[in-house]
Amino acid sequence: MVKVSIIGSGNVAQHLAKAFENSSDVELLQVYSRNKSDLQHLPFAAKVTDNPNGLHAADLYVIAVSDSAIRSVAESLPFEGRLVVHTSGSVALSELDAKNRRGVLYPLQTFSKKRKIDFGQVPLCLETEDPNDSVLLEKAARAISGSIFSMDSQQRKAMHVAAVFASNFTNHLYALAADLCEKYSVPFEILQPLIIETASKISELPPLQAQTGPALRNDLPTIDAHLAMLPDDNFKMIYKTLTQSIQQWQKATKN
């Protein structure tokens, strides 16, 4: 059975460790973290070590730490020639120390400590330097998710930018909407069915076709009325920028 060890103690490390621990196709060998106490409440607590020299021989090591720490963690590993992958969307494979065989396992999802995630649905973007290692990495990935994609570093970085638009920026628009609701004393919860439907719709309809609203209709009286209701220049700037972009796209699609 494939033996996997995790390095890290954050959200991604915890979700991955739990997923591997629950899989019957892979053995979670160890979890290494300098902050052993962060993981003591978890079901795999007995496998946690804070001694880097106490790391046993695994088939795959998954470094799930912050982007800026990946390089130094990979350099500090006290072994060579083993398969080591990181989990970042934006860090190149080449950031990993070349003394080990290198790869990437990037789970494309937003992880919070408080939210349960069905890991079996999380898309995993895989990359290996040596094509021979792809079989092993895929085997480990398939043990925890039904959604596996091979891509190179450039494609993975593009996915990461796309995810910033589709998730980080989207969430910020939710925050702005919530602020408007508060300012005009209406409950933000009213918007939730609309938000869920907008997100669900695009699984059936390409987002370009799903577009609605005053920008698309070039409904100037409504656009002006909206701008007049917005509380500050930042709101107005975002409203104008996105309205203009929708209209630009609409034109480009018609031509």
Please, what is the minimum distance in Å from the beta carbon of residue 241 to its own copies? 5
213 part of the interface to its own copies, by CB under 8 A:
yes
Segment interacting with its own copies, rule: CB under 8 A, options 28-36, 38-46, 128-136, 194-202? 194-202
246 part of the interface to its own copies, by CB under 8 A:
yes
Of these, 24, 51, 203, 255, which contacts its own copies (CB under 8 A)?
Answer: 203
Closer residue to its own copies (CB): 29 or 70? 70
69 part of the interface to its own copies, by CB under 8 A:
no
Pull the structure tokens for residue 60.
């795959």
Closer residue to its own copies (CB): 52 or 123? 123
237 part of the interface to its own copies, by CB under 8 A:
yes
Segment interacting with its own copies, rule: CB under 8 A, options 12-20, 23-31, 50-58, 204-212? 204-212
186 part of the interface to its own copies, by CB under 8 A:
yes
Please, what is the minimum distance in Å from the beta carbon of residue 8 to its own copies? 16
Site for its own copies in 113-172 (CB under 8 A): 114-115, 117, 121-123, 125, 147, 149, 151, 154-155, 157-172
Beta strand residue intervals within the chain, DSSP E? 2-7, 26-32, 48-49, 60-63, 83-86, 101-107, 124-128, 148-150
Phi, psi at 231, each rounded to 5°: -75, -25
45 part of the interface to its own copies, by CB under 8 A:
no
Site for its own copies in 89-118 (CB under 8 A): 90, 108-110, 112, 114-115, 117
Do 117 and 135 meet the contact criterion of CB atoms below 8 Å apart?
Answer: no
* Core vs surface per residue 217-227: b (16+ CB within 10 A) or e: eeeeeebeebe
- Residue by residue, DSSP assigns 190-237 as GGHHHHHHHHHHTTTS-HHHH--SHHHHT-HHHHHHHHHH--SHHHHH
Position 22: which residue type?
N
User: What span, in angstroms and rounded, lies between the C-alpha atoms of 21 and 11?
Assistant: 15
Position 98: which residue type?
A
